[in-house]
Amino acid sequence: MSMWQAEVRVDLDAIRDNVATLRAGTTAEVMAVVKADGYGHGMLPSARAALAGGATWLGVATLDEALTLRREGITAPVLAWLLAPGLPLHEGVAADVDLNAGSLAQLGELVTAARRAGRPTRTHLKIDTGLARGGATPADWPALLEAAAKAQADGEIDVVGVWSHFVYADSPGHETVDHQLAVFAEGLATAEQFGIEPRYRHIANSAATLTRPDAHYDLVRPGVAIYGLSPLPREHQTGLRPAMTARARVTLTKRVPAGQGVSYGHAYYTSRETTLALVPLGYGDGVPRHASNVGPVSLGGRTRTIAGRVCMDQIILDCGDDPVAAGDVAVLFGPGDNGTPTATDWADAIDTINYEIVTRFGGSRVPRVYDGTAGLPAEPPTAAATDVSQSVGEVGGLEPLPSGSAVGASDVLPSGRAAGTSDVSPSDGAMGATARSSSGGAVGATAVSPSGVAVGGSEALPSGSAVTASDVLLSGRGAGASDVLPGGAGSGGADLGARGAFGSGRDGGVLPAEASGGEGA
Ligand SMILES: *Cc1c(COP(=O)(O)O)cnc(C)c1O
């Protein structure tokens, strides 16, 4: 009896490999952008996998995100760039977080924070080269530089970077790219006149990292690309592998006659007698409601289109006479192996960008389960083996999964995001993805009850890895938090574990290029 109903699987090795691919293509350092819960992939596991792939910086939007990374023991440089007035920026300074200033007011806050923290604020000065979002306009830039030069002379800030962000780099050759690069170069020259010569000049997002080496400068800031998604039109080959898979087991099938209206509003009618399959993922989980009647879902070896409206908890597929059955696995999107849909296919279907598709699944009720070992400690696990069931079953045309290899919401450890879990090594923490290790390297399955209290399973954990109720509550996802900590997938469990489920395509090499729907994050 399998334990999961719907899940988001995240391939940490893919994130690592994607970062390595990007890094191989540049002489610049790589700042992996892990904002918004790592674009839905989980901020901390994604950050660790990215660092394992050669990223030397992490980028986030908010101070809270940066402080969470620090709290979890990440020591790599971190830049946080989206800062409202009045935040406790001194906490960021004390935690060695780099902060952005794009106006005199923001610079003033950084100076105040430095005084409170008793040390200079590591500062990145942002020039708005055309996006009209963050940063000082070219007109306001000299005044910001003058104030920054003074604050630096006074020991209140340390200008680590000068930076900007592209409008339209996902449309290679777009005139704005060259224009922004010219404005950026000019802004750097002006900075030099004020005696500001930063160690890090940076402007390249994923798209520019992939297409514009002349924009790499000292540091590139890829986000979506580290998760294996391309911001570029489909014809661009990227060699990246999508890390996220969203899938669910059919809960019920039924035969209905021709002319049957399906789901709310009967926005779909069957054209013949047919089998309907109910898939337990809905807009409450991250499936866009706009995917009604257009979202692609793979089931029973074929890609089908959602029949009728997306509900809060489920979607319905019209499967004709195909032999689909309850328990079969429906894949909404994944790496695209065997023609299954990708997040980019979903984005195209509903006129959005793949960024939004994956990010929507962050923080949802769907358990997030990690595959792979990237970013996890190398030491073998020390815990005793758990009593995970060894029964193996065929799952909806995918490779056999051990029943213990997938987990439900009540069997999962909150991710490393939970406060106080930073000392829980993933290899001795709970793990659903790789259920057991034939070499004796055990992977425990910590159970967290829906009430958020760690229950059972403790015999399967080394001391120190137990999760307390307050850890769960502090994780920000509340009781029943549904991340599964990456586990010691390396020690022999690969044949039965996570890789069994998704590994078949890993040797597929370069994946088809992905397309974009427009602007980035
Ligand atoms: C989100 C973001 C990035 C990453 O953008 P991608 O298009 O995902 O590579 C880089 N820099 C800034 C300022 C961002 O907000």
Query: What is 210-234 written as a DSSP string?
Result: HH-GGG-TTEE--SGGGGT---S-T
> What SS3 string covers 179-210?
HHHHHHHHHHHHHHHCCCCCCEEEEECHHHHH
Average pLDDT over residues 22-51: 98
pLDDT grade for 114, boundaries at 50, 70 and 90: very high
Is it the case that residue 90 has pLDDT exceeding 50?
Answer: yes
What digits encode the pLDDT tens for the residues 494-507? 222 332 222 233 33
Mean pLDDT of the 103-108 span: 98
User: Could you tell which of 26, 29, 33, 78 is best to mutate to test the pocket of ligand 1, judged by most ligand atoms within 8 Å of the CB?
Assistant: 33
Are the folds of 12-227 and 244-352 the same?
Answer: no
The half-sphere exposure of 372 on its side-chain side, counting CA atoms within 13 A, is 24
Residue 256 scores a pLDDT above 80 = yes
For the CA of 224, the nearest atom of ligand 1? 8
Q: Is 81 helix (H, G, I), strand (E, B) or coil?
A: coil
Q: For residue range 196-244, list pLDDT tens digits in order.
A: 999 999 999 999 999 999 999 999 999 999 999 999 999 999 999 999 9
pTM for the complete prediction? 0.77
**In the structure, what pLDDT confidence band is assigned to residue 379 with cuts at 50, 70 and 90?**
low
Find the mean pLDDT for residues 316-322. Answer: 98
Percent of the chain with pLDDT over 90: 71
Tell me, what's the pLDDT at 363? 86
Mean pLDDT of 361-374: 94
Length of the chain: 521
pLDDT at 341 over 90: yes
Domain spans, the chain: 12-227, 244-352, 379-521
147-166 pLDDT per residue, tens:
999 999 999 999 999 999 99
Q: How large is the average pLDDT for residues 320-328?
A: 98
Mean pLDDT, residues 81-86: 97
Mean pLDDT value across the chain: 80
For residue 45, how far is the Cα from the chain centroid? Answer: 9
Closest by alpha carbon to 200, among 184, 181, 218, 188?
Answer: 218
Pocket of ligand 1 (CB under 6 A): 33, 35, 81, 165, 205-206, 221-225, 231, 520-521
Rg (CA), the chain: 24
Q: Domain 12-227 classified CATH 3.20.20.10?
A: yes
| 35 belongs to the catalytic site | yes
User: How far does CA 330 lie from the centroid of its chain?
Assistant: 21
User: For domain 244-352, is the CATH number 2.40.37.10?
Assistant: yes
Among 165, 171, 220, 355, which residue has the most ligand 1 atoms within 8 Å of its CB, making it the best to mutate? 165
Q: How far is the CA of 331 from the centre of ligand 1 (A)?
A: 28
pLDDT above 50 (res 400): no
Secondary element (H or E) of residue 162:
strand 157-163
Residue 76 pLDDT exceeds 70: yes
- Residue 521 is predicted with a pLDDT of 59
How much is the pLDDT for 483? Answer: 46
Known active-site residue 254? no
pLDDT attached to residue 377: 77
Inform me whether the pLDDT recorded for 459 exceeds 50. no
At 380 the pLDDT is: 54
